[in-house]
Amino acid sequence: MRYAMILDRRRCYACQGCTVACKVANATPPGTFWTKTLSVEKGKFPNAHMEYMPLICNHCDNAPCVHVCPTKASKKLADGTVQVTASECIGCQMCMEACPYGARYFNSDDKPTYWSETGKQSEYEAARMKEHVTNTVDKCTFCAPRREKGLTPACVATCPGVARFFGDLDDPESEVSKLFKKYNPKPYKPEKGTRPRVFYIE
């Protein structure tokens, strides 16, 4: 099994639906975005235009974050995803430095909240933030809890532009396999040699 995601940049219009869906599904702390879409202006007036770049953990086959982790908290699983075991993470943040995609986040111990005027977490935050152990690093899991229920990642399920596709590259009948053969999508920053599991159709 080789889980992978294909992002079709031709269909993405930076609505940030993926960002919101990820926030809801994973209850990530303020300032933490496991997926997001950058908007970049290209060209010059009068021929300027916007280009959109959706970003997410690349679940690399040759993952620098895994190689540098001193406790082996970051690991490559048999399904091809890269995951972090919070109980083994010492919060050294070496993996954050090693990741060329900026896809890892440190969970500080200052009890982050969206309600800055009160300085207190809401009941929802207090309940869900327990999923993010303080003084550890975490990242996109390709929505492991959803996959356990037979669902696709939240960002894929929510994308109104149908710009995200997820599946098993080892299954020739999967949508990602068919798209791979049809469009030959490319990874982001291939020069890094990380062999990502996230690919882009330009």
Query: Per-residue pLDDT tens for 79-105?
Result: 999 999 999 999 999 999 999 999 999
* Residue found under tokens 């330009």: 202
Query: Per-residue pLDDT tens for 157-187?
Result: 999 999 999 999 999 999 999 999 999 999 9
Residue from 148, 16, 17 nearest 83 by CA: 148
Question: Confidence class of residue 120 from pLDDT cuts 50, 70 and 90?
Answer: confident
* Residue 87 DSSP SS3: helix
Question: Confidence class of residue 109 from pLDDT cuts 50, 70 and 90?
Answer: confident
* % of the chain surpassing 90 pLDDT: 87
Give dist(CA 90, CA 99) in Å, integer. 17
Domains of the chain from N-terminus onward:
3-200 (3.30.70.20)
Cα dihedral 3, 176, 199, 77 in deg (nearest 10): 0
Q: What is the pLDDT of residue 121?
A: 78
* pLDDT, average across residues 109-138: 81
